[in-house]
């Protein structure tokens, strides 16, 4: 067993502790970025000058009227960027901080600093901006038609597509377009900057990636990184939305502080956050799939087009992860999946829990859900038949060593959920209820853990043991509610053999641990846990030498557990505090920097081949829904999940992550409907769902009344920290089961074998259209044929709400199994 994964006899990892800040969270005492400025006098408030065109040239920018507004101190424009710096907030250098071209509705062209927020707001209104309209592209389809793309256009391919299709008994093709998702973190983007007497810049930022925030501020100001410290105390949610997008706001605050010498606070209002920050990428996919007579996939050809928005941001790695997850749990011998990034006049879309993985996986799950009835195979059976088997590799060439875990979670969740009995009960219910139908569906998850970009797979930590035996840890990861800090305290306590109360964790800061990776890709615990463990082991090894002399046994026989140091065969023990005290006087170094890098990864992004992931996380979910045939309204009746987190570091945290991820995924699948003005009016491109009143998030009423989450047992993961697996993102995709359950329920309104075209999100409206189509009772084959060429039957009532068909399927050849 490797050093890293060994779980000692005495361990705090694995204990069900509550979140380390739970009491602060529920009492309101927890501080967030925008709580800090109130402690400082002299603070200036920043407010953006947002524009109101989707795409336009800035022909005149006059800030002088703003300077007349009482309380306005300064207006920041491109002219304020220092000569040594650059006017750009992106790592791809395609995001001017002060643009002279408006690229989306709401794009800010200047920032006003005021003595009060109200003064800054009024100042921003007073700034005069003249715009000259340029043609704009709002939808992905418009971008495709105009050939408007950005960034690389990778392809993941293997095998022989022609041979795969030749071998197929059934060939189906289709398109599927689905929405993105808004992060809706409770804390909007915020930054607070101040400078000290030496001109050093301190920034508290709500950022998942403090080191990159530091880099961008450094570029904008043209000063070296050591002049800039970025701290992240905690975030009120990030969900990927604060991986890259906070940098520009931090740069504005820092620039304002440098120019005025005063602290500057910047916090976006909800509407500013919703209109200026990107969302999850919506995708448009076009696919062609071949199945053997037994329903095995023989070939898949697909084109995924991601809606990138106006700049690249993280769109390239997001797309790469989508391409690397289109296989989900399924063996696809012959495959070619190409991807590209549409450039549209929208805020720049960005990372969101799953980082493109969900989009890739959704495409294959939609294909299977859509095709199962056409093949005459039960959807559960179709999925199971295509699972990876021994010796098989992903399309990009990584072996799927734990294919048996896919089977394990699948069988276990079916047993937990009484699948057989409940499937029969659903059928019975549907037979006796003409206007209400239930659906039951199961979907699996396989998600690769590690950053595709190999360099990011490193972590650092700094651990101090003070003379009194108390321990202070720092690490490079950030806390956004996911419980990383809780786990890190458990790792340190376990590695040093002390109770958790001995360990305190200090805020994430770039002057403590440098060159950190984003807390993202779910790998926060793997990377920072590895680094903390490494630091603690260095200290423990030094202490063992001191203990050996004290207890009269070899250092190798010293054990640390629960604050007591003992020696194998020694008569006496020694309290931790006493040993630390002795060690200090014996001049022992009681602090250490820890480092961890994930071994065994390689990835060639030019050919999209390699083994980019340390391991895969697995899970399976069963969801039951009930749909009303008159309105399309539905309820989720029950959810069962079995998820693989290895040996859990912190079971309460992990279960919370799984529940939260499922609900967030279910929001994306069913409720959350991003809309833009697609008209030709001057408001074209305006983000319409810019408040919680128009953007429906899951709430208590959407929580499944029965929600069983089980962690897979005996799931020790060799080579990961204390045998654990990452948990942050993978369970989001368990929510695909709710959309598939809705598809089943809609199908039950029609004849046996109805293939349902279900919009995504499957809002009640979309569900109504889908079940109404099913209810018309078309022969499923005929209706699939009728949809060849993508023509949908026209909506009968011209005043009826616009139907938004998202998917269409054509049958090329078909042989029922
Ligand atoms: N959980 C909460 N409560 N809040 C968040 O913002 N972000 C998710 C996930 N879980 C998030 C969350 C995302 S997108 C990622 S990548 C992981 O947490 C990051 O943290 P980890 O690497 O420590 O799991
Ligand atoms: Mo998560 S989308 O990797 O921040």
Does ligand 1 lie within 6 Å of residue 356's CB atom?
A: no
pLDDT digits (tens, 9 = 90+) for 199-215: 999 999 999 999 999 99
pLDDT digits (tens, 9 = 90+) for 569-597: 999 999 999 999 999 999 999 999 999 99
The atom of ligand 2 lying closest to the CA of 728 is 1
803, pLDDT greater than 90:
no
Does ligand 1 lie within 6 Å of residue 236's CB atom?
A: no
Q: What is the mean pLDDT of the chain?
A: 95
pLDDT digits (tens, 9 = 90+) for 302-316: 999 999 999 999 999
Q: 814 pLDDT band (50/70/90 cuts)?
A: confident
According to DSSP, the β-strands at 44-50 and 264-267 are: parallel
Does ligand 1 lie within 6 Å of residue 238's CB atom?
A: yes
16-28 mean pLDDT: 97
Cα distances (angstroms) measured from residue 740 to each of 52, 380, 625, 627: 39, 10, 10, 13
For residue 95, how far is its CA from the centre of ligand 1 (angstroms)? Answer: 26
The C-alpha atoms of residue 678 and residue 177 are separated, in whole angstroms, by 16
Decide which of 808 and 753 is more confident.
753
The C-alpha atoms of residue 72 and residue 45 are separated, in whole angstroms, by 9
Cα 460 from chain centroid? 22
What sign does the CA torsion over 511, 512, 516, 519 have? negative
801, pLDDT greater than 70:
no
pLDDT digits (tens, 9 = 90+) for 473-491: 999 999 999 999 999 999 9
For residue 239, how far is its CA from the centre of ligand 1 (angstroms)? Answer: 6
Does ligand 1 lie within 6 Å of residue 103's CB atom?
A: no
DSSP per-residue string spanning 752-764: TTPPP---SS--H
The pLDDT assigned to 789 comes to: 38
Best residue for ligand 1 mutational test, from 188, 482, 598, 724 (most atoms within 8 Å of Cβ): 482
Best residue for ligand 1 mutational test, from 728, 730, 734 (most atoms within 8 Å of Cβ): 728
Does ligand 1 lie within 6 Å of residue 523's CB atom?
A: yes
Q: 4 pLDDT band (50/70/90 cuts)?
A: low
Lowest mean pLDDT among 242-246, 471-475, 696-700, 807-811: 807-811
The pLDDT assigned to 199 comes to: 92
For residue 729, how far is its CA from the centre of ligand 2 (angstroms)? Answer: 7
Residue with tokens 């377009």: 177
Residue with tokens 């920032």: 111
Q: What is the pTM of this model?
A: 0.96
Q: What three-state secondary structure class fits 358?
A: helix
The atom of ligand 1 lying closest to the CA of 237 is 6
640, pLDDT greater than 50:
yes
Cβ(82)–Cβ(146) below 8 Å = no
pLDDT digits (tens, 9 = 90+) for 395-409: 999 999 999 999 999
Over 32-55, what HEC string results? CHHHCHHHCCCCEEEEEEECCCCC
Quickly count: other Cβ atoms within 10 Å of residue 685's Cβ.
26
The C-alpha atoms of residue 386 and residue 391 are separated, in whole angstroms, by 14
The pLDDT assigned to 786 comes to: 45
For residue 101, how far is its CA from the centre of ligand 1 (angstroms)? Answer: 34
The atom of ligand 2 lying closest to the CA of 520 is 3
42-66 mean pLDDT: 98
The atom of ligand 1 lying closest to the CA of 522 is 22
The atom of ligand 1 lying closest to the CA of 208 is 19
Cβ(177)–Cβ(140) below 8 Å = yes
For residue 404, how far is its CA from the centre of ligand 1 (angstroms)? Answer: 27
For residue 238, how far is its CA from the centre of ligand 1 (angstroms)? Answer: 7
The pLDDT assigned to 615 comes to: 97
**pLDDT-above-90 percentage for the chain:** 93
Best residue for ligand 2 mutational test, from 320, 480, 520 (most atoms within 8 Å of Cβ): 520
The C-alpha atoms of residue 448 and residue 394 are separated, in whole angstroms, by 11
Does ligand 2 lie within 6 Å of residue 520's CB atom?
A: yes
Does ligand 1 lie within 6 Å of residue 665's CB atom?
A: no
The atom of ligand 2 lying closest to the CA of 243 is 4
For residue 667, how far is its CA from the centre of ligand 1 (angstroms)? Answer: 16
Token representation of residue 569? 């065969």
For residue 587, how far is its CA from the centre of ligand 1 (angstroms)? Answer: 41
The pLDDT assigned to 30 comes to: 97
**pLDDT-above-70 percentage for the chain:** 95
Q: 788 pLDDT band (50/70/90 cuts)?
A: very low
Does ligand 1 lie within 6 Å of residue 206's CB atom?
A: no
- Counting beta carbons within 10 angstroms of the beta carbon of residue 14, is it exposed (0 to 12), middle (13 to 18) or buried (19 or more)? middle
The pLDDT assigned to 804 comes to: 56
The pLDDT assigned to 811 comes to: 81
729 catalytic residue (yes or no): yes
Does ligand 2 lie within 6 Å of residue 353's CB atom?
A: yes
Ligand 1: residue whose CA is nearest its atom 20: 522
Does ligand 1 lie within 6 Å of residue 649's CB atom?
A: no
The atom of ligand 1 lying closest to the CA of 353 is 14
Does ligand 1 lie within 6 Å of residue 654's CB atom?
A: no
The pLDDT assigned to 39 comes to: 85
797-804 mean pLDDT: 50
pLDDT digits (tens, 9 = 90+) for 62-92: 999 999 999 999 999 999 999 999 999 999 9
132, pLDDT greater than 70:
yes
779, pLDDT greater than 60:
no
Which listed residue (212, 729, 740, 765) is catalytic?
729
User: Following CA atoms 160, 161, 167, 169 in sequence, which dihedral angle do they give, to the nearest 10 degrees?
Assistant: 160
For residue 591, how far is its CA from the centre of ligand 2 (angstroms)? Answer: 31
Ligand 2: residue whose CA is nearest its atom 4: 240
Does ligand 2 lie within 6 Å of residue 355's CB atom?
A: yes
The C-alpha atoms of residue 757 and residue 776 are separated, in whole angstroms, by 13
Does ligand 2 lie within 6 Å of residue 245's CB atom?
A: no
The atom of ligand 2 lying closest to the CA of 239 is 4
Best residue for ligand 1 mutational test, from 522, 661, 730 (most atoms within 8 Å of Cβ): 522
Quickly count: other Cβ atoms within 10 Å of residue 165's Cβ.
19
Q: 6 pLDDT band (50/70/90 cuts)?
A: confident
Ligand nearest the Cα of residue 459 is 1
Token representation of residue 562? 């629960």
Q: 806 pLDDT band (50/70/90 cuts)?
A: low
Ligand 1: residue whose CA is nearest its atom 10: 728
For residue 471, how far is its CA from the centre of ligand 1 (angstroms)? Answer: 26
Does ligand 1 lie within 6 Å of residue 450's CB atom?
A: no
Q: What three-state secondary structure class fits 322?
A: helix
Does ligand 2 lie within 6 Å of residue 732's CB atom?
A: no
Of 281, 274, 95, 331, the closest CA to residue 178 belongs to 281
611-622 mean pLDDT: 98
Does ligand 2 lie within 6 Å of residue 237's CB atom?
A: no
Does ligand 1 lie within 6 Å of residue 522's CB atom?
A: yes
The pLDDT assigned to 295 comes to: 97
Ligand nearest the Cα of residue 350 is 2
776, pLDDT greater than 50:
yes
The pLDDT assigned to 96 comes to: 98
Cβ(95)–Cβ(248) below 8 Å = yes
Ligand nearest the Cα of residue 356 is 2
User: Following CA atoms 339, 341, 347, 348 in sequence, which dihedral angle do they give, to the nearest 10 degrees?
Assistant: 80
Does ligand 1 lie within 6 Å of residue 360's CB atom?
A: no
Q: What three-state secondary structure class fits 666?
A: helix
For residue 522, how far is its CA from the centre of ligand 1 (angstroms)? Answer: 6
């Amino acid at each position: 067993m490797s050093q890293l994964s060994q779980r000692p006899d005495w361990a705090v990892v694995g204990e069900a502790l509550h979140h380390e800040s739970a009491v602060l969270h529920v009492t309101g005492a927890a501080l967030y970025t925008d709580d800090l400025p109130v402690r400082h006098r002299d603070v200036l408030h920043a407010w953006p000058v947002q524009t109101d065109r989707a795409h336009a040239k800035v022909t005149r920018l006059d800030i002088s009227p703003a300077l007349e507004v009482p309380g306005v101190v300064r207006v920041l424009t491109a002219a304020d960027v220092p000569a040594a710096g650059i006017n750009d907030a992106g790592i791809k250098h395609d995001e001017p901080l002060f643009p002279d071209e408006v690229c989306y509705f709401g794009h800010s062209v200047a920032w006003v600093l005021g003595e009060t927020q109200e003064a800054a707001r009024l100042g921003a209104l007073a700034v005069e901006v003249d715009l000259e309209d340029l043609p704009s592209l709002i939808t992905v389809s418009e971008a495709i038609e105009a050939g408007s793309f950005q960034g690389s256009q990778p392809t993941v391919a293997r095998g022989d597509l022609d041979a795969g299709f030749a071998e197929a008994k059934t060939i189906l093709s289709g398109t599927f377009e689905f929405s993105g998702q808004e992060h809706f973190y409770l804390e909007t983007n915020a930054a607070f900057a101040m400078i000290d007497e030496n001109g050093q810049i301190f920034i508290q930022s709500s950022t998942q990636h403090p080191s990159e925030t530091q880099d961008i501020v450094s570029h904008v100001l043209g000063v070296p990184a050591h002049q800039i410290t970025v701290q992240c105390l905690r975030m009120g949610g990030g969900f990927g939305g604060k991986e890259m997008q906070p940098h520009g706001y931090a740069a504005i605050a820092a620039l304002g502080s440098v120019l005025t010498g005063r602290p500057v606070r910047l916090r976006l209002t909800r509407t500013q956050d919703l209109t200026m920050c990107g969302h999850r990428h919506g995708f448009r996919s076009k696919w062609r799939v071949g199945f053997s007579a037994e329903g095995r996939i023989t070939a898949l050809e697909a084109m995924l087009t991601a809606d990138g928005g106006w700049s690249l941001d993280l769109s390239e790695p997001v797309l790469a992860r989508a391409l690397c997850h289109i296989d989900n749990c399924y063996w696809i011998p012959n495959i070619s999946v190409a991807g590209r990034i549409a450039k549209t006049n929208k805020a720049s879309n960005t990372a969101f829990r799953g980082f493109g993985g969900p989009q890739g996986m959704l495409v294959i799950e939609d294909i299977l859900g859509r095709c199962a009835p056409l093949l005459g195979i039960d959807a559960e059976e179709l999925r199971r038949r295509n699972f990876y088997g021994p010796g098989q590799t992903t399309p990009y060439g990584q072996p799927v060593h734990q294919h048996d875990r896919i089977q394990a979670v699948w069988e276990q969740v079916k047993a937990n959920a009484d699948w057989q009995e409940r499937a029969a009960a659903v059928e019975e219910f549907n037979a006796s209820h003409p206007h209400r139908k239930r659906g039951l569906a199961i979907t699996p998850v396989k998600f690769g853990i590690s950053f595709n970009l190999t360099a990011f797979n490193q972590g650092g930590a700094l651990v101090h043991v003070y003379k009194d035996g108390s321990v202070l840890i720092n690490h490079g990861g950030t806390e956004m509610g996911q419980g990383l800090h809780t786990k890190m305290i458990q790792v340190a306590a376990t590695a040093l053999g002390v109770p958790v109360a001995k360990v305190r964790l200090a805020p994430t800061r770039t002057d403590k641990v440098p060159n950190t990776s984003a807390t993202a890709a779910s790998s926060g615990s793997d990377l920072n846990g590895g680094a903390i463990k490494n630091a603690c082991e260095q200290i423990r090894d030094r202490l063992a030498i001191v203990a050996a002399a004290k207890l009269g046994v070899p250092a190798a026989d010293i054990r640390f557990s629960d604050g007591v140091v003992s020696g194998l065969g020694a008569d006496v023990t020694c309290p931790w505090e006493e040993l630390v005290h002795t060690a200090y006087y014996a001049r022992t170094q009681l602090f250490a920097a820890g480092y961890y890098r994930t071994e065994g990864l390689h990835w060639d992004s030019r050919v999209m081949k390699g083994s980019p992931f340390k391991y895969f996380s697995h899970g399976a979910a069963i969801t039951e829904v009930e749909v009303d045939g008159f309105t399309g309204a539905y309820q989720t009746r029950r959810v069962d999940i079995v998820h693989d987190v290895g040996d859990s570091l912190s079971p309460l945290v992990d279960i919370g992550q799984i529940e939260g991820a499922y609900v967030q995924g279910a929001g994306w699948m069913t409720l959350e409907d991003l809309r833009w003005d697609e008209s030709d009016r001057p408001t074209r491109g305006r983000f319409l769902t810019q408040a919680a009143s128009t953007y429906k998030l899951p709430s208590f009423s959407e929580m499944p009344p029965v929600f069983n989450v089980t962690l897979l047992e005996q799931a020790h993961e060799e080579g990961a920290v204390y045998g654990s697996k990452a948990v942050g993102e993978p369970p989001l995709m368990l929510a695909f089961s709710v959309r598939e359950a809705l598809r089943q329920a809609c199908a039950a309104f029609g004849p046996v074998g109805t293939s349902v075209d279900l919009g995504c999100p499957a809002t009640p409206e979309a569900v109504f259209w889908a079940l109404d189509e099913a209810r018309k009772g078309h022969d499923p084959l005929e209706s699939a044929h009728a949809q060849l060429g993508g023509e949908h039957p026209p909506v009968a009532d011209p005043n009826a709400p616009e139907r938004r068909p998202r998917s269409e399927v054509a049958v090329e050849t078909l042989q029922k199994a």
